[in-house]
Amino acid sequence: MIRPAVLTAIKLIQDRYFEPLTLDELASEVFISRFHFSRMFAETTGVTPGRFLTAVRLFEAKRLLLTTSLNVSDIVCSVGYSSVGTFTSRFSRAVGMTPTQYREPQVAELLVAISPHYQRVPPLSALRGAGRNCASLRAGTGTLALQLDLPAGLPAADVLVGLFADPVPQCGPVAFSGAGAMYSGELRLTGVPAGSWTAIAVARHRVVGAAGSWFSIGYSTAQVAAHGLSTGRVELRPPAPTDAPIAITLASRQSPFSQRMLAMQRPALRAVA
CA end-to-end distance (rounded Å), the chain: 42
Q: Is residue 271 in some structural domain?
A: no
Q: Is residue 103 in some structural domain?
A: no
**131 and 212, same domain (yes or no):** yes
What residues contact 130, with CB distance under 8 A and at least 6 apart? 110, 250, 251, 255, 257
The structural domain count of the chain equals: 2
pLDDT in tens, 137-196: 457 999 999 999 999 988 999 999 999 999 999 999 999 999 999 999 999 999 999 999
164 by Cβ neighbours in 10 Å (0-12 / 13-18 / 19+) ranks as buried
Q: What is the CATH number of the domain that holds 72?
A: 1.10.10.60
- Among the candidates 70, 98, 126, a domain finishes at 98
pLDDT in tens, 125-137: 777 655 543 444 4
**88 and 118, same domain (yes or no):** no
**27 and 49, same domain (yes or no):** yes
Measured CA to CA in angstroms, residue 188 lies from 204, 226, 255 at distances of 18, 15, 20
For residue 153, give its domain range.
111-263
pLDDT in tens, 52-88: 999 999 999 999 999 999 999 999 999 999 999 999 9
187-219 CB burial, b ≥16 within 10 A, e <16: bebebbbebebbbbbbbbbeeeeeeebbbbbbb
| 271 pLDDT more than 70 | no
**84 and 127, same domain (yes or no):** no
> What stretches of the chain show up as alpha helix (H) in DSSP?
4-16, 23-29, 34-45, 49-67, 72-78, 84-95, 105-109, 124-129, 256-263
pLDDT in tens, 105-150: 999 999 999 998 888 888 887 776 555 434 444 579 999 999 999 9
Q: Is residue 272 in some structural domain?
A: no
- Among the candidates 52, 72, 98, a domain finishes at 98
Residue type, 168: V
| 22 pLDDT more than 50 | yes
How far apart (Å, rounded) are the C-alpha atoms in residues 202 and 207? 16
